[in-house]
């Protein structure tokens, strides 16, 4: 390597290297360290070994939070992906009208999440849109956000509405990148629409599926804003997802050691998930 090139490269890369060391690499190591300590920001962290992790696995609130996160992830990702794919197939065909519909469906996904969540606060308020629709359907008004039977489903409806358009667009991009001759061949063979969908389209979209599932699952597992704004994790922790549990422990109770342990557990679960998904796809493609 020439010295001029080496110096230029190092110079261009230096700000990024400093940034990633200061704001990612060192903090990650610090988080691991803090997870073995008791620390409330005053004084210095006290080493407690595995106490935080031990406390976590014996805490009912942690397991309830893990369960809520699992429920939230499964019922946010599953319906979103199914709806997005079903909508994307007819929308992927060319045409100005379809392009227009795609743009409209995408609007909620472009809205800032905080603004959207504030809107849904009103939708779920007494006499709001949710009550109005429920009354018209003969179900009657409900305390959507303050009854533990409804709160998590209310959050999920909002989250699905917010993100389904994003996945429609990703599926459309995936569908449009598929070779047209495969579908022509299937049509010549006389394959029916549904058959083509399950036997040709879905397998060909494998790569898109993996991407979508990883993005959706990791996104859902880290979701904080809807639960924080709509329910504050209530009623009685019914919507306290792990990121909110972490936030409460750190910034409401100043338990920075315990909160760091939650963060480490969340990270490990996310990494295992992403790694498994990508390994599956790679072995599948070989």
Partner 1 sequence: MRIGRPLTAVALIGFVALMLLPLYSMIVLASAPDDGDLSGLGFHGFALFDNIGQIMTDGRFPRYLMNSVLIASAVSVLDVAISAAAGYALARLRFPGRAALLNLVVIALSLTPAVVMIPVFVMLSEIGWLNSYQGLIAPFAASALGVFLVRQFALGIPVQMLHAARVDGASELRIFLRIAVPLLRPALLTVLLLQFLAQWDNLIWPLIAASEQELWTLPLALSSFEGEHGIVYHLQTAAALISILPPLVLFSFLQRYYVSGLTLGGVKR
- Report d(CA 109, CA 235) in Å as an integer: 27
Pick one of 69, 150, 151, 165: the residue that binds partner 1 (CB under 8 A). 165
Pick one of 57, 74, 129, 280: the residue that binds partner 1 (CB under 8 A). 129
78 binds partner 1 (CB under 8 A): no
248 binds partner 1 (CB under 8 A): no
183 binds partner 1 (CB under 8 A): no
Only one residue has tokens 């709001």, namely 128
Pick one of 50, 57, 82, 173: the residue that binds partner 1 (CB under 8 A). 173
* Segment contacting partner 1 by CB under 8 A, of 58-66, 73-81, 195-203, 245-253: 245-253
- Report d(CA 207, CA 215) in Å as an integer: 12
In whole angstroms, how close is the CB of 17 to partner 1 at the nearest point?
A: 5
Pairing of strands 46-47, 37-38: antiparallel
Q: Among residues 34 and 238, whose Cβ is nearest to partner 1? A: 34
119 binds partner 1 (CB under 8 A): yes
In whole angstroms, how close is the CB of 199 to partner 1 at the nearest point?
A: 17
Pick one of 54, 195, 207, 282: the residue that binds partner 1 (CB under 8 A). 207
CB atoms within 10 A of CB 120: 24
In whole angstroms, how close is the CB of 188 to partner 1 at the nearest point?
A: 15
187 binds partner 1 (CB under 8 A): no
144 binds partner 1 (CB under 8 A): no
99 binds partner 1 (CB under 8 A): no
In whole angstroms, how close is the CB of 147 to partner 1 at the nearest point?
A: 18
* Segment contacting partner 1 by CB under 8 A, of 48-56, 58-66, 71-79, 265-273: 265-273
Token duo for residue 111: 């809205």
Pick one of 23, 63, 67, 253: the residue that binds partner 1 (CB under 8 A). 23
16 binds partner 1 (CB under 8 A): yes
In whole angstroms, how close is the CB of 148 to partner 1 at the nearest point?
A: 22
148 binds partner 1 (CB under 8 A): no
Residue 37's φ and ψ, nearest 5 degrees, are: -130, 170
Letters for 33-72 (x = contact with partner 1 by CB under 8 A, - = none) are -x------x-------------------------------
């Amino acid at each position: 390597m020439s010295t001029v090139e080496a110096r230029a490269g190092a110079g261009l890369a230096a700000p990024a290297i400093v940034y990633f060391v200061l704001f990612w690499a060192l903090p990650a190591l610090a988080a691991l360290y803090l997870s073995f300590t008791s620390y409330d920001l005053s004084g210095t962290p006290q080493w407690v070994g595995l106490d935080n992790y031990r406390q976590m696995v014996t805490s009912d609130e942690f397991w309830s939070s893990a369960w809520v996160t699992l429920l939230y992830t499964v019922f946010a990702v599953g319906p979103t992906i199914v709806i997005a794919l079903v909508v994307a197939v007819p929308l992927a065909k060319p045409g100005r009208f379809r392009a227009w519909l795609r743009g409209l469906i995408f609007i909620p996904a472009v809205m800032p999440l905080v603004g959207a969540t504030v809107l849904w606060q009103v939708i779920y308020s007494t006499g709001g849109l949710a009550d109005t629709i429920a009354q018209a359907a003969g179900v009657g008004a409900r305390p959507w956000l303050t009854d533990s039977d409804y709160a998590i489903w209310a959050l999920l409806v909002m989250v699905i509405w917010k993100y389904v358009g994003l996945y429609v667009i990703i599926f459309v991009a995936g569908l449009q990148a598929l070779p047209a001759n495969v579908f022509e061949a299937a049509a010549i063979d006389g394959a029916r629409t549904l058959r083509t969908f399950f036997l040709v389209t879905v397998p060909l979209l494998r790569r898109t599926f993996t991407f979508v599932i990883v993005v959706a699952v990791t996104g859902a597992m880290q979701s904080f804003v809807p639960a924080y704004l709509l329910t504050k994790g209530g009623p009685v922790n019914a919507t306290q997802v792990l990121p909110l549990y972490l936030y409460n422990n750190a910034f409401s109770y100043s338990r920075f050691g315990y909160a760091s342990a939650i963060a480490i557990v969340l990270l490990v679960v996310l990494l295992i998930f992403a790694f498994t998904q990508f390994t599956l796809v790679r072995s599948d493609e070989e």
